[in-house]
A and B are shown apart, each in its own frame.
Chain A
Amino acid sequence: MAFNFLIVDDSETVRAVIAKTLHVAGLPINELYQAANGKDALDILAGHWADLIFTDINMPVMDGIEFIDRLGADDMLKSIPVVIVSTEGSQTRIEQLKAKGAVAYVRKPFQPELIRKVVEETLGAPNEN
């Protein structure tokens, strides 16, 4: 089974790094969507399904906190696992985001292996499917 991923970050470079990490890790990828902010991500999700979402917090237009709130308010979208990938270091805010539904948190700068580990823990290792 191959997965659809959505990467939400206003840095095109960070989106490319995460995308490359997913490819190099050998994870089964069906579609890999990218958005520069929460609003653009919601627009993508209006027409496409994602099995896992990576999102930054600090973004223009719609930040990651509002994006997660909007996902949680949607009966369909709230079931999608969300992984925070951010420079955020506040445990207070991280706990708030997990309470809103985020399943994991990866702090920047991250080792690529951590992205793979989080995906496997959330969706299952490739050989499990």
Chain B
Amino acid sequence: MKTEHAEALSDTFCRVIEQLAFMFAEPAEPDVVPQPAGPCVAVAMEFSGVFGGSLRLAVPAAICAELAGNMLGMDLDDGEAAARGTDSLKELLNITCGNILTEIAGTEAVFTLTIPAAEPLEPGKWDEFRRREGALAFLIDDNPALLELVVKGEAA
């Protein structure tokens, strides 16, 4: 990933999660976001247009209910927030994707986005994700997160 893309992605992700859920993300070195103790979930989506690619996000599953609760203004122990955790994470990715594509390609470019898909992140896959060349690491209110943008076919 280009350095300017990494900077734009980092800024966009931090801005989106703050505006969407009043949660604060800060960039971190990959070495300080080791495999979380509990289960993790990954969401991913693809895009096509003037260039193609994908965006992928991994977080501890426990953060999803907090995300939903903040978006909906509910208490964390509200069962509804827990039930909507994965849906909220997918929407976070979807919004980040739309916003980063505008940052990179400008407002004239048109993209088609796929629907975000979520899956449990198997043990060991966190470290594999963390070590990928283009992976960005964050701390979201002290919870680790990994984000990767893959761009294919972009003009140099």
Chain B binds chain A: yes
Contact of B98 among A14, A86, A91 (CB under 8 A): A86
Q: How large is the interface on B (under 10, 10 to 19, 20 to 34, 35 or more residues)?
A: 20 to 34
Task: Check B102–A12 contact: CB distance below 8 A.
Answer: no
- Chain A residues lying within 8 Å of B111, measured Cβ to Cβ, are 90
Complex CA gap A60/B95 in Å reads 16
**Count of chain A residues with a beta carbon within 8 Å of a chain B beta carbon:** 22
Q: CB distance B94 to A87 under 8 Å? A: yes
Write out the residue numbers on chain A whose beta carbons fall within 8 Å of the beta carbon of B71: 13, 17
Q: Mark A71-102, 1 if CB is under 8 A from B, else 0.
A: 00000000000000011111111000000000
In the complex, A10→B117 CA distance in Å? 12
**A60 with B115, Cβ < 8 A, contacts A91-B107, A109-B16 known:** yes
CB pair B90–A11 under 8 Å, yes or no, is: yes
B73 located at the interface, meaning its Cβ lies under 8 Å from any Cβ of chain A in the complex: yes
Contact A17 B16 (CB under 8 A): no
CA–CA, A109 and B90, complex, Å? 13
Contact residues of B: prevailing secondary structure:
helix
Partner of B87 from A13, A89, A91 at Cβ < 8 Å: A13
Judge whether B76 is part of the interface by a CB distance below 8 angstroms.
no
Task: Give chain B residues whose Cβ lies under 8 Å from the Cβ of A88.
Answer: 98
Name A's interface SS.
loop
A108, B91: Cα distance in complex, Å: 10
The residue of chain A having its C-beta at the shortest distance from the C-beta of B90 within the complex is A11
Q: How far is the CA of A16 from the CA of B73 in the complex (A)?
A: 10
Whose C-beta in chain A lies nearest to the C-beta of B15? A109
B108 contacts chain A at the CB level, 8 A cutoff: yes
Report B's interface with A, CB cutoff 8 A: 16, 19-20, 68, 71-73, 84, 87-88, 90-91, 94-95, 97-99, 101-102, 107-111, 113, 115
- Residue numbers of A with Cβ under 8 A of B are 10-14, 16-17, 20, 58-60, 86-93, 108-109, 111
Task: List 5 A–B pairs whose Cβ atoms lie within 8 Å, in order of A's numbering.
Answer: A16-B84, A87-B98, A90-B107, A92-B108, A108-B98
